[in-house]
Structure 1
Amino acid sequence: MSSEEKRFFDEMFGHQTHSAKGVGAPDPTGEQQCRAPYDTYHEWFSDEDLKRLNMKAAEAENVFRRTGITFNVYGEKDAAERLIPFDIVPRIIAAREWSRLARGIEQRVRAINAFLYDIYHKQEILKAGRIPSHLIAQNEAFEPSMIGVTPPGNVYTHIVGTDIVRTGDNEFFVLEDNARTPSGVSYMLENRETMMQMFPELFSQNKVRSVSDYPRLLRRSLASVAPPGCEGKPTVGVLTPGIFNSAYFEHSFLADQMGVELVEGHDLRVMDGKIKMRTTRGFKTLDVVYRRIDDAYIDPLTFRKDSMLGVPGIMDVYRAGNITIANAPGTGVADDKAIYSYMPEIVEFYTGESAILKNVPTWRCSEADSLKYVLEHLSELVVKEVHGSGGYGMLVGPAASKKELSTFEKKLKAKPANYIAQPTLSLSTVPILTKKGLAPRHVDLRPFVLVSKDKIDIIPGGLTRVALKAGSLVVNSSQGGGTKDTWVLED
């Protein structure tokens, strides 16, 4: 194999070769066989007419367009609503694989909640020297207004999205944690609904675990953390920035599926020490708000004074224990990619166990030795902003031009603490459907976790994001990626 070629783990067929020119087909060695989780699907696919499947793919696109499953890309001339491409070849995960993933995810989420409670109270992990104090004190996402505040049920991260990548048969890594306002669950649900409508026979042949319970579990989770003074059934609302937000479809979708109100900041006000929601019958007390706006915009009296999206005074009501905000303000500290690099220590500190799921090796550019290494190996690494998301502000070294490398080098030298770097992982691939047949593309996985006062629910599967461009490692929808239905098989 030449130095320009790499072997990647294909989740349907085993290993395959990629060259510098793109992605090749599975190795024609004769040793490659369909992996067990895909056996039934592969048998079905082999008997299907390719032309019919491509027509089905076009039909799926029309379904998504009619349903209005779109998103916006900020900062572009054509930032109008876009359709997220959907691929009809499912990603299939065996029961034993999912079992291990779920254990690791639950362990990690418990540790994150314990960590958030600690840093806003006694800060024992800092006193123990397990994390440098400056990573908290100088962290943009740390909210001093949350010091000493204990959310109902001690839950900070009610909804978590944990991004996971795979590099081998039994090799999974956590790429990052999304503890603020993780998005994408509506696409997971619509992907499944579309697949069940278009290929009902597949679900009779394959025992696939359901994801349709998510809205019910989400509402139950939110209701479980209602304020102590809540009387009767809690009133829940989804707080959205409005129709121009990139994830507005998801906000309205989830509110509708849960049977709760979709509200904007101007619909809410502080009255009698509580948050009241404007209705056709007057004002009604809101007990739990699932906020889909960033911390900085929640309350102009506490955060950004120019915010027109939040509710003036809501933080005072929150600190008084008269409303629950999910996820809690200040949870972005757990999203910070410099903090991410300490997650193995965080898991061990709060659980007394070794982390089941491994981190990707990470260089913190704030450290002189790490910065020196990153600058010397920039063309080999992936560099990310510590508070970045959506694939923005990121450099993929092996795919970057000399000009891009030079520009990023200047950014690193100017503000090193703003970046971390990681090796370019050999991300696994899953086939997508093309007009010529199956073709492998790189994927990641975002399972969704719901944290209640007394339990943790992990939805079996999650959102698989796929890089539709041959050879690309960037799966984000804002960067041209698509999505797949994710099947977790019954044991």
Structure 2
Amino acid sequence: MAVDWQAYRNQDFYDELVDSRGRIRAPARELMTYLDSLSTEEIRERQRAADLAILEMGITFTVYSEGENIDRSWPYDIIPRIIDAATWNEVDAGLRQRVKALNLFIADIYGEQAVIGDGVFPRALLDNSANFRPECVGIKPPQGVWAHICGSDLIRDHQGRFMVLEDNLRVPSGVSYMMENRVLTKRVFGELFENTSIQPVGNYPTRLFDMLAALSPRPMDYPEVVVLTPGIYNSAYFEHSFLAQHMGAELVEGKDLVVGGDDCVYMRTIDGPRRVDVIYRRIDDLFLDPEVFRKDSVLGVPGLMRAWSKGNVGLANAPGAGVADDKVVYAFVPDFIRYYLGEEPILPNVPTYRCYLDDERDYVLEHLDELVVKPANESGGYGMLIGPSATKKDRNAFARLIRKDPRNYIGQPLVRLSTVPTVTDGQVEPRHVDLRPFILQGDDMYVTPGGLTRVALRRGSTVVNSSQGGGSKDTWIVDDSRKDTS
């Protein structure tokens, strides 16, 4: 028996593939026609085949639970998410605009701080920023770019409108899973790629390497690029090794690198020290250099900040870029776009209440049962309150936290996230999704066509993080003018 799309239809939310009357949306017709040719059991069998392939390929992520590191297979759903190219073109333009403004803001904050002098951004927020690094003031990285790799989280509301939920500018992760999702989907639905025009994502490692290579202080066709990882126990280690392998770069830990007397960085090899030109670092600022930040760090490289500040090594993302990776700073991004670019934002923010402002804090405290409350610098879905589903005890506890440290909290309405068909317990049901595209900025800019779609696998849940029980899907940007090549 095939899927009954009339029975599937979802009246309460915007479903991206099926409208409220149960009709297939135009970009998804080819996919849905194909799914209609499969019985429910055949769909289940393909999901089982994908799950087995994930085990064979060793695609994992790590969950930190009760003091233990637990490796789990990557949760993947076989039914792809489809976005039409015309809609995506607008999203692409909005992401480029946003990342450009964010980099101008970061450069300004570590430079003249005109944005503060002109009254666009409050100095008090900078003084209380967890990710502002005074050690970076006055440094000018190559091309004026601080956040070379950005992962912005997008959602679609009940009208299907894309909105930015947050920006990840420190060490954004997930791009390897985006690529592996495409590989898995080709294994499961290979026939569809013969007749459907889907924009490719497989060239991301090449784009990433080219962007990193352009940061090299030495003019070389193939500079020495390394990926700096905290090690095998990090939750994103799979991605670190994946990207290093696909770029042809060395995967290193801090103990593999040393800063020489010439303030250049060298990699220890069996043939002796080899100079490193660019470091794609996947460890947080505070662990990068024990001479400057945390003295007890064994993950970083003593002297690395000195080498970087003197222009002897490229670092991506640059230390200090996290000053803009703050949910309170996020609320100002539309203002940054107007201030630095003289343009209106293409992609809107989710309405945001800043608890450091008395009137907005009062509103949040009075409407805790309606809002989502988030701390400024947490990630992975941790430390947040989903008011409508929280207990009165939890809301009261959060009210105390907000009053104690209002700078650290924002409130947002609970957006009715869009849904897509998802295989759950052998059935196809709607599940909520978000999207993390990846944006590279160097001499030029590149936006992944689509990105990592994360899906809330539990019925009714809006929490999509894999660490909180979420999964993922392949994301297709369907364009009739070109064929998939990756």
What TM bracket, shorter-length normalisation?
A: over 0.9
Question: Please, which of 448, 471, 482 is the counterpart of residue 471 of structure 2?
Answer: 482
Aligned residue in 1 for 2:446: 457
- Partners of 1:135 and 1:169 in 2: CA distance: 34
Question: Please, which of 225, 231, 235 is the counterpart of residue 242 of structure 1?
Answer: 231
* 1:11 maps onto 2:16 in alignment: yes
Residue 8 of structure 1 contacts residue 429 of structure 1 at CA under 8 Å; is this kept in 2? yes
Per-residue CA deviations over 1:2-34 (Å, capped at 9, x if unaligned) read xxx98210001123xxxxxxxxxxxxxxx3311
SS at match of 1:244: coil
* 1:267 maps onto 2:256 in alignment: yes
Residue 75 of structure 2 contacts residue 471 of structure 2 at CA under 8 Å; is this kept in 1? yes
Alignment coverage as a number of residue pairs: 470
SS at match of 2:395: helix
**For 1:339-354, what aligned pairs fall within 5 Å after superposition?**
339-354=329-344
CA shift at 1:297, angstroms? 0.3
SS at match of 1:134: helix
Aligned residue in 1 for 2:6: none
AA at the equivalent of 2:210: R
TM-score by length of 2: 0.94
Residue 276 of structure 2 contacts residue 313 of structure 2 at CA under 8 Å; is this kept in 1? yes
SS at match of 1:406: helix
- Partners of 2:68 and 2:75 in 1: CA distance: 17
* 1:157 maps onto 2:147 in alignment: yes
CA shift at 1:367, angstroms? 1.5
- Partners of 1:35 and 1:78 in 2: CA distance: 44
Residue 61 of structure 2 contacts residue 74 of structure 2 at CA under 8 Å; is this kept in 1? yes
CA shift at 1:77, angstroms? 5.4
CA 1:56/1:232 → structure 2, altered by over 3 Å: closer, same or farther? Answer: closer
- Partners of 1:129 and 1:407 in 2: CA distance: 34
Aligned residue in 1 for 2:456: 467
- Partners of 2:11 and 2:352 in 1: CA distance: 22
CA shift at 1:137, angstroms? 2.1
Aligned residue in 2 for 1:23: none
Q: Percent identity?
A: 49
Aligned residue in 2 for 1:377: 367
AA at the equivalent of 1:94: D
- Partners of 1:199 and 1:293 in 2: CA distance: 36
- Partners of 2:239 and 2:316 in 1: CA distance: 16
CA shift at 1:366, angstroms? 1.3
Deviates more, 1:253-262 or 1:153-162: 153-162
CA shift at 1:140, angstroms? 1.2
Question: Please, which of 78, 82, 96 is the counterpart of residue 72 of structure 2?
Answer: 82
CA shift at 1:195, angstroms? 0.8
CA shift at 1:232, angstroms? 5.2
Residue 176 of structure 2 contacts residue 239 of structure 2 at CA under 8 Å; is this kept in 1? yes
Per-residue CA deviations over 1:296-332 (Å, capped at 9, x if unaligned) read 1000111011101000110000110101110000111
AA at the equivalent of 2:287: Y
Residue 430 of structure 1 contacts residue 441 of structure 1 at CA under 8 Å; is this kept in 2? yes
Deviates more, 1:64-73 or 1:418-427: 64-73
Question: Please, which of 81, 91, 94 is the counterpart of residue 91 of structure 1?
Answer: 81
**Gaps (5+ residues) in structure 1?**
16-30
**For 1:207-218, what aligned pairs fall within 5 Å after superposition?**
207-218=197-208
**Gaps (5+ residues) in structure 2?**
1-9, 481-486
SS at match of 2:14: strand
SS at match of 1:317: helix
Aligned residue in 2 for 1:133: 123
CA 1:437/1:140 → structure 2, altered by over 3 Å: closer, same or farther? Answer: same
- Partners of 1:188 and 1:240 in 2: CA distance: 20
AA at the equivalent of 2:19: G
**For 1:45-444, what aligned pairs fall within 5 Å after superposition?**
45-76=35-66, 79-227=69-217, 229-231=218-220, 233-271=222-260, 272-444=262-434
CA 1:382/1:6 → structure 2, altered by over 3 Å: closer, same or farther? Answer: farther
AA at the equivalent of 1:484: K
- Partners of 1:444 and 1:426 in 2: CA distance: 11
Per-residue CA deviations over 1:180-225 (Å, capped at 9, x if unaligned) read 1100001000000011122110111211111000011100010012
- Partners of 2:435 and 2:39 in 1: CA distance: 29
- Partners of 1:36 and 1:6 in 2: CA distance: 18
CA shift at 1:95, angstroms? 0.6
- Partners of 1:179 and 1:274 in 2: CA distance: 26
- Partners of 1:194 and 1:110 in 2: CA distance: 33
SS at match of 2:64: coil
Residue 54 of structure 1 contacts residue 434 of structure 1 at CA under 8 Å; is this kept in 2? no
Residue 456 of structure 2 contacts residue 471 of structure 2 at CA under 8 Å; is this kept in 1? yes
